[in-house]
Amino acid sequence: MRRLFAVLLSAFLLLGFAPVAHAEIGGLTPCAESARFQQRAAGATTAQAKARFSMYSQALCGTDGLPHLIVDGRWSHAGDFIIPGIAFLYIAGCIGWAGRGYLQAVAGRKDATMHEIQIDLPVALKATLAAATWPLAAFKEFGTGKLTEADSKITVSPR
């Protein structure tokens, strides 16, 4: 009976029998209509500031007259957050993958600890350039099992 109810509920929601909810966007108004934003824009002195206010007039402003970032399920604002978010994850991944590659490269040396303190620049540059393709390399290593370690090799504190 529970499964039938779950299937029916899912079907009703999927087919759109539930009314669509239209939420207000937190009291935000278009910046072009915001009196506080217009007051701030009038105080712009440089050409660069005037161009910035002109560009931001398309955004949504709060009562403070400042543009606000909209992060919700609508695709119309996807570029406001998704593109910078993906760029951040890619750059952070590059940094991590380069560090990982460098540590793996110097791990076999007899003075590996010293190379962790004093960076070997040619090895570090090679690891940094190789890190540009880190998503593909990570996927490949995950598929071959090189990225993960077996459970038997992971130490667990006794309880």
Measured distance CA(100)–CA(64) in Å, rounded: 45
- Provide, rounded to the nearest whole percent, the portion of the chain with pLDDT above 70: 89
Final residue of a structural domain among 43, 68, 93? 68
* Higher per-residue pLDDT: 122 or 81: 122
Q: How far apart are CA 17 and CA 20, in angstroms?
A: 9
* 19 has pLDDT over 60: no
Give the pLDDT score at 17: 56
Min mean pLDDT across 17-26, 36-45, 85-94, 96-105 is at: 17-26
The rounded distance, in Å, linking the Cα atoms of 37 and 59 is: 11
Kindly tell me if the per-residue pLDDT of 106 is higher than 70.
Answer: yes
Q: What is the mean pLDDT of residues 128-142?
A: 94
Residue 9 domain flag: no
Residue 31 is assigned to a structural domain of this protein: yes
Give the total number of structural domains in the chain: 2
**Residue 86 belongs to a domain with what CATH number?**
1.10.8.110
pLDDT tens per residue across span 27-86: 788 888 889 999 999 998 899 999 999 998 888 888 888 988 777 666 776 777 788 889
Confidence of residue 94 (pLDDT cuts 50, 70, 90): very high
pLDDT averaged over the chain? Answer: 86
pLDDT confidence of residue 72: 67
In a domain, 153, yes or no: no
Would residue 1 count as lying in a domain?
no
Residues 86 and 128 in one domain: yes
pLDDT at site 142: 93
Alpha helices in the chain (DSSP H): 2-15, 35-42, 47-56, 78-106, 112-117, 121-130, 134-144
| Domain end residue (candidates: 68, 103, 129) | 68
Closest CA to 26 of 74, 77, 68, 75: 68
User: Is 11 contained in some domain?
Assistant: no
Evaluate whether residue 3 is within a structural domain: no
Q: Kindly state whether residue 73 falls inside one of the protein's structural domains.
A: no
62 lies in the same domain as 91: no
For residues 88 and 143, membership in a common domain is answered with yes
On whether residue 155 sits in a domain, the answer given is no
- Looking at the structure, tell me whether residues 38 and 90 fall in a common domain: no
